[in-house]
Amino acid sequence: MWTGSIIFNNKLGPQHLHMAVRLPSEFVNPSPGQFVMIRPARGGEPLLSRPLSIYQFTRNQDHVILEFLYRIVGQGTELLSRLPSAAEVAMLGPLGNGFRIEKNRSHRILLAGGMGVAPITFLAQRLNDLVVTKAELQICLGAKSCAEIVGVERIKGFQGLMNIVTDDGTIGSCGLVTDLLPDITRGCDPCQTMIYACGPMAMLRTLAEELAPTRIPCQVSIEERMACGLGACLGCAVDVHNRRGRRVKKSLCKDGPVFNIEDICWEQL
């Protein structure tokens, strides 16, 4: 368990916040897609930590900085949102299995729905060093409305093509982020392409259905509630197909949250 100090915890809107935490330099370098379990360090309810995906990681000479984008969805995140600068937080991590970066792929497509933008941005930051031209990296963001789109300015700083889609069309095109798939995957070589995605379950299920005929590989980070973050409580178990094709249960926190899209038993979700 780590103890960190909040550098800032800024509101981006009524429900969205951007937090930065300073931690000791011994904190292990995280991979995109990994997360931490975090809670206020000094008592209070609720006692359970909350999972937050890592938005950015910076290593300095004598400390590291972890950044998070998060949305108030319950009592735990509401409590986090009220923490001021210099307040201490208790943190366990980095946890889980993140995205696998395959350097031999020349075309990478990133899809983020809602707060899926946090791990996708961290991944885009890592991939930015691998791409030579903008066409090699495409980033697609989707949300309900312009008020739900966060983190755009940081993504604009990466080398890549960016598309924004909102349900009501208040920013970008009108529709769902998965509506972009036919155009952005047209002519893609499955051997040279990798899709990475994070977002609501309905979005990922649609993605699985639409990608099945294309044979384009895809890694998805599944967003679900977690209790322990270590796979001990089995509260975040999902059904997946193992290498022998048998259905088994895996913990999102320990075995995921990133899985190959074809391994998930989507009909059970």
Residue 81 structural domain: 2-95
Identify the DSSP state of 13: S
What does the pLDDT read at residue 229? 65
Answer yes or no: is 101 within a domain.
no
What does the pLDDT read at residue 234? 66
Residue 233 has pLDDT above 80, yes or no: no
Range of weakest confidence among 10-14, 109-113, 119-123, 251-255? 251-255
- Rounded to two decimals, what is the model's pTM? 0.92
Confidence of residue 267 (pLDDT cuts 50, 70, 90): confident
Residue 197, token pair as written in the block: 């995605």
| One domain for residues 36 and 78 | yes
Burial class (CB in 10 A: 0-12, 13-18, 19+), 84: exposed
| One domain for residues 120 and 242 | yes
| One domain for residues 195 and 243 | yes
| One domain for residues 240 and 260 | yes
| One domain for residues 111 and 238 | yes
What does the pLDDT read at residue 44? 60
- pLDDT tens-digit map of 115-174: 999 999 999 999 988 877 777 899 999 999 988 889 888 888 887 888 999 999 899 899
Classify the C-alpha dihedral 127-131-133-136 as positive or negative: negative
Residue 228 has pLDDT above 80, yes or no: no
The count of structural domains within the chain is 2
| One domain for residues 125 and 232 | yes
Letter string b/e over residues 26-46, b meaning 16 or more CB atoms within 10 A of that residue's CB: ebeebbbbbbbbbbbbeeeee
Cα 231 to Cα 229: distance, rounded to the nearest angstrom: 6
- pLDDT tens-digit map of 49-86: 899 999 999 999 999 999 999 999 888 899 999 999 99
| One domain for residues 146 and 51 | no
| One domain for residues 121 and 212 | yes
Q: Which of 95, 130, 160 is the last residue of a domain?
A: 95
What does the pLDDT read at residue 102? 86
Cα 154 to Cα 45: distance, rounded to the nearest angstrom: 33
CATH number, position 36 = 2.40.30.10
Cα 57 to Cα 233: distance, rounded to the nearest angstrom: 28
Residue 90, token pair as written in the block: 């208790």
Answer yes or no: is 102 within a domain.
no
What does the pLDDT read at residue 217? 95
User: How many CB atoms lie under 10 A from the CB of residue 142?
Assistant: 28
Residue 25, token pair as written in the block: 């330099």
Q: Which residue has the tokens 């300095």?
A: 60
Nearest to 32 by CA among 193, 221, 247: 221
Residue type, 182: P
Residue 106, token pair as written in the block: 């020349």
Between residues 267 and 5, the one the model is more confident about: 5
What does the pLDDT read at residue 269? 60
Name residue 193's beta-bridge partners.
Answer: 107
Answer yes or no: is 236 within a domain.
yes
Q: Which of 47, 71, 95 is the last residue of a domain?
A: 95
- pLDDT tens-digit map of 1-41: 899 999 999 999 889 999 999 999 999 999 999 999 999 98
Nearest to 83 by CA among 180, 11, 171: 11
CATH number, position 162 = 3.40.50.80
What does the pLDDT read at residue 2? 93
